[in-house]
């Protein structure tokens, strides 16, 4: 079968875009990863044997963690093309028992929160590392490092509203140049010291641990920096698709990364003094400033991978009910997975700039780096276990061996990174704890609210007697009452009991979010006739889709026999009041009321014309 040329061209463009957005994080790790192994709190002696040992650890970490775990296996666990820890949770949560699902939910929220922590640290450390390259050319720029970094970060986050697709088109060619340049100069350096190729033998990694003991284990805290883009790679899968990401990884990113690490290792074996900045030492002095400029661009792009991942993560969290509704804007008509979240964007921008000002240097930020990403890696492996057993029905032995193998690396990296807590590792843990707590409070509050409304609710079977009891007259026109459950909306009951009238035609409408990211339009609307001129309508959306009730009604007008001009939407407004007499969960209740107050207006979220809406308030004590 001959491949479709247009499809082939589209895949190539997506692969180039993925190179610019997805691989920026892992692509700039050579700026600081190898240097961190021989400097800092857990630095080891700079000997030829240790250089080969560290290189061997880096090489096999890339091959086993990124190639085997993420590209080969984890990315295959997509939820209809959508990746990320929340998408994976939705895929496996329905297959577990209630107890397991509760634990999975907590673990998933913690993993997502940790990824936000990584999303704040990555831009700060990447940009700082690149700007610090100016010190190789001149020390005069050192005092302006923080100022320059903050300006660049501000510009980066300002540019986010353009959308991932446009950013990818610009960043893709830049990253292609970046990978090509670092690969060529790495290859040139390695040619001058061909013995560095021995690092491909796992023997040197084993020997490294045998020679250095506990000190060698501590170096894993720096080695993990070379694989920190793995989770972002998975989270960004919905932006470009698995195939383009795989093509970009194997054809460009992986070979160039390996060549550069080998070149840095060869340089260190020839001249140990280059440990001051082994990456920039690969280039002739005349190219230092151009490489600093290119590295700065690459560092900006490195931040893009995790920022885009954070946007996808937020969209998933909103649709799954983990956090309040916030405004989410799709930035591509061709790819619904490409989104922009203004509030998250500027919150991350503020935290990134704060980190640069507080920590002042990349070597200090390296202490905060790693804990967040390794924690998320462990949780991904945990969820992947359920995917293998419950979704794919893999044999127990295979699932144990595969996830156990992944867990050895994940736990090894995580345990070593725990030693960085006092050196800055407290920041991602604190941030993840706060975000997780917000998620837990929101889910807890919504559950209590749902229970409260159910107590006041009316089942569909009891609707006719209720109407006969209270109705005095029928009024012309059509009314649509929004419901948050399978019960008759409380707004309708208030309207009926207070106004004593019923419209000639009634539609009770519920918006349902599916565990799939995108749904076929033919499965969008389910219509059920309750009684004469009374309907129950369910509109289904995937968790990556933005509801549009106006469009849904256009599609169902013929079935309902209603006109758009005479139809009004009745929306229940919950007015939450704090219960001063209840002394339990005071902080939780106050925080939930605050979160509810900042939640996006349902009219905007559901895309209902404001001039067609009638609000009915319901006071609820929390």
Total domains in the fold of the chain: 2
Report yes or no on 406 lying in a domain.
Answer: yes
Residue 139 and residue 252 in one domain:
yes
Residue 393 and residue 505 in one domain:
no
> How far apart are the C-alpha atoms of 416 and 419, rounded to whole Å?
6
Residue 262 and residue 205 in one domain:
yes
Bigger pLDDT: 410 vs 490: 410
Collapse the DSSP code of 189 into the 3-class scheme (helix H, G, I; strand E, B; otherwise coil) and give the result: helix
Give the strand order in the sheet containing 567-577.
525-531, 534-541, 501-513, 473-483, 567-577, 613-621
Bigger pLDDT: 335 vs 229: 229
Q: Output the pLDDT for position 488.
A: 84
Residue 270 and residue 123 in one domain:
yes
Residue 238 and residue 262 in one domain:
yes
Nearest one of 361, 18, 331, 381 to 159, comparing CA atoms: 331
Residue 425 and residue 485 in one domain:
no
> How far apart are the C-alpha atoms of 21 and 302, rounded to whole Å?
7
Report yes or no on 449 lying in a domain.
Answer: no
> How far apart are the C-alpha atoms of 360 and 354, rounded to whole Å?
10
Q: Output the pLDDT for position 224.
A: 87
Average pLDDT score over the chain:
82
pLDDT, tens digit, for every residue of 589-616? 889 888 888 887 777 777 777 777 888 8
Question: In the predicted model, what is the mean pLDDT of residues 360-375?
Answer: 75
User: What residue has token string 């964007």?
Assistant: 345
Report yes or no on 452 lying in a domain.
Answer: no
Residue 462 and residue 402 in one domain:
no
pLDDT at 5 over 60: no
Greatest mean pLDDT range, 109-113, 204-208, 360-364: 204-208
pLDDT, tens digit, for every residue of 412-441? 988 988 887 877 778 888 888 899 899 999
The domain that contains 24 carries what CATH number? 1.20.1740.10
Percent of the chain residues past pLDDT 90, beyond the cut = 20
Residue 152 and residue 128 in one domain:
yes
Report yes or no on 539 lying in a domain.
Answer: yes
Last residue of a domain, one of 394, 413, 444: 444
Last residue of a domain, one of 444, 470, 486: 444
Exposed e or buried b per residue across 144-159, where buried means at least 16 C-beta atoms within 10 angstroms of its C-beta: ebbebbbebbeebbee
pLDDT at 150 over 50: yes
Question: In the predicted model, what is the mean pLDDT of residues 20-39?
Answer: 84
In contact, 197 and 262? CB cutoff 8 Å? yes
Structure token pair of residue 299: 């560092």
536 is in which domain, residue-wise? 457-621
In contact, 184 and 252? CB cutoff 8 Å? no
Residue 459 — pLDDT band, cuts 50, 70, 90? confident
Structure token pair of residue 493: 């009951």
Q: Output the pLDDT for position 166.
A: 62
Residue 539 and residue 597 in one domain:
yes
Report yes or no on 6 lying in a domain.
Answer: no
> How far apart are the C-alpha atoms of 216 and 210, rounded to whole Å?
8
pLDDT, tens digit, for every residue of 45-85? 889 999 999 999 999 999 999 999 999 999 988 877 778 78
Residue 308 and residue 400 in one domain:
yes
Residue 472 and residue 391 in one domain:
no
pLDDT at 171 over 80: no
Bigger pLDDT: 18 vs 305: 18
Q: Output the pLDDT for position 56.
A: 96
pTM, whole model, 2 decimals? 0.75
Report yes or no on 13 lying in a domain.
Answer: no
Structure token pair of residue 72: 């080969």
> How far apart are the C-alpha atoms of 278 and 132, rounded to whole Å?
13
> How far apart are the C-alpha atoms of 261 and 267, rounded to whole Å?
10
Greatest mean pLDDT range, 149-158, 164-173, 261-270: 261-270
What ranges in 320-425 are assigned the alpha helix state H? 342-359, 362-365, 371-386, 396-417
Residue 258 — pLDDT band, cuts 50, 70, 90? very high
Report yes or no on 11 lying in a domain.
Answer: no
Q: Output the pLDDT for position 163.
A: 62
Gyration radius from the chain CA atoms: 28
Residue 410 and residue 479 in one domain:
no
Q: Output the pLDDT for position 4.
A: 43
Question: In the predicted model, what is the mean pLDDT of residues 32-56?
Answer: 86
Report yes or no on 306 lying in a domain.
Answer: yes
Last residue of a domain, one of 401, 421, 444: 444
Instruction: Tell me which DSSP letter residue 458 carries.
Output: B
Greatest mean pLDDT range, 111-115, 577-581, 617-621: 111-115
Greatest mean pLDDT range, 94-108, 179-193, 469-483: 179-193
Question: In the predicted model, what is the mean pLDDT of residues 470-483?
Answer: 84
3-state secondary structure 218-269: HCHHHHHHHHCCHHHHHHCHHHHCHHHHHHHHHHHHHHHHHHHHHHHHHHHH
Main-chain phi, psi angles of 320, to 5 degrees? -85, -5
> How far apart are the C-alpha atoms of 17 and 245, rounded to whole Å?
9
pLDDT, tens digit, for every residue of 538-575? 888 876 677 888 777 777 776 776 665 667 888 877 77
pLDDT at 402 over 90: yes
Greatest mean pLDDT range, 28-37, 155-164, 520-529, 599-608: 28-37
pLDDT at 384 over 90: yes
């Amino acid at each position: 079968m001959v491949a479709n040329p247009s499809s082939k061209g589209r895949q190539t463009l997506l692969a180039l875009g993925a190179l610019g957005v997805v691989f920026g994080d892992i692509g700039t790790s050579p700026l600081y990863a190898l240097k961190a192994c021989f400097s800092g709190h857990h630095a080891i002696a700079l000997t030829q044997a240790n250089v080969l040992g560290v290189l061997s650890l880096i090489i096999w970490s890339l091959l086993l963690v990124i190639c085997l775990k993420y590209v080969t296996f984890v990315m295959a666990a997509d939820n209809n093309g959508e990746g990320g820890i929340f998408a994976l949770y939705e895929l496996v949560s329905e297959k577990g028992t209630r107890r397991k699902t509760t634990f999975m939910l907590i673990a998933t929220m913690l993993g997502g929160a940790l990824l936000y922590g990584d999303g704040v640290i990555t831009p700060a450390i990447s940009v700082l590392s690149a700007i610090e390259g100016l010190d190789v050319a001149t020390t005069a720029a050192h005092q302006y490092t923080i100022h320059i970094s903050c300006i660049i970060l501000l510009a980066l986050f300002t540019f986010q509203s353009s959308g991932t697709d446009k950013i990818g088109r610009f960043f893709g060619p830049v990253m292609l140049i970046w990978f090509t340049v670092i690969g060529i100069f790495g290859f040139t350096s390695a040619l001058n010291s061909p013995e560095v190729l021995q690092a491909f033998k796992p023997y040197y990694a084993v020997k490294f641990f045998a020679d250095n003991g506990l000190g060698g284990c501590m170096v894993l805290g720096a080695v993990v920096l070379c694989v920190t883009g793995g989770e972002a790679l998975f989270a960004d899968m919905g932006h470009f698709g698995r195939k383009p990401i795989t093509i970009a990884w194997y054809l460009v990113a992986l070979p160039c990364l390996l060549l550069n690490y080998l070149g840095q290792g060869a340089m260190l074996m020839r001249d140990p003094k280059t440990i001051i900045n082994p990456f920039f030492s690969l280039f002739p002095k005349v190219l230092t400033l151009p490489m600093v400029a290119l590295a700065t661009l690459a560092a900006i792009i490195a931040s893009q991978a995790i920022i885009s991942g954070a946007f996808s993560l937020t969209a998933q969290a909103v649709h799954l009910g983990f956090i309040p509704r916030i405004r989410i804007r799709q930035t591509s008509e061709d790819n619904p997975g490409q989104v922009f979240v203004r509030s998250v964007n500027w919150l991350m921008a503020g935290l990134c700039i704060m980190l640069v000002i507080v920590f002042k240097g990349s070597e200090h930020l390296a202490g905060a780096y790693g804990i967040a990403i390794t924690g998320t890696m462990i949780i991904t492996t945990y969820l992947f276990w359920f995917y293998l057993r419950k979704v794919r029905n893999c044999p127990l032995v295979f699932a144990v061996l595969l996830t156990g193998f992944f867990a050895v690396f994940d736990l090894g990296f995580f345990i070593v990174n725990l030693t960085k807590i006092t050196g800055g590792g407290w920041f991602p843990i604190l941030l993840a704890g706060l975000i997780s707590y917000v998620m837990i409070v929101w889910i807890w509050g919504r559950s209590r609210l749902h229970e409260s409304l159910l107590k006041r609710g009316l089942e569909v079977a009891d609707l006719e007697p209720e109407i006969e009891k209270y109705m005095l007259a029928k009024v012309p026109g059509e009314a649509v009452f929004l419901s948050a459950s399978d019960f008759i909306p409380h707004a309708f009951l208030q309207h009926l009991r207070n106004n004593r009238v019923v419209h000639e035609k009634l539609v009770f409408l519920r918006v349902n979010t599916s565990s799939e990211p995108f749904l076929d339009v033919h499965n969008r609307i389910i219509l059920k006739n309750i009684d004469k001129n009374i309907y129950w309508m369910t509109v289904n959306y995937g968790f990556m889709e933005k509801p549009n009730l106006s469009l849904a009604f256009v599609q169902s007008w013929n079935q309902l026999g209603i006109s758009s001009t005479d139809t009004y939407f009745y929306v229940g407004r919950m007015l939450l009041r704090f219960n001063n007499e209840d002394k339990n969960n005071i902080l939780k209740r106050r925080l939930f009321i605050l979160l509810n107050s900042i939640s996006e207006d349902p009219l905007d979220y559901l895309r209902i014309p404001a001039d067609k809406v009638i609000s009915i308030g319901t006071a609820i004590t929390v």
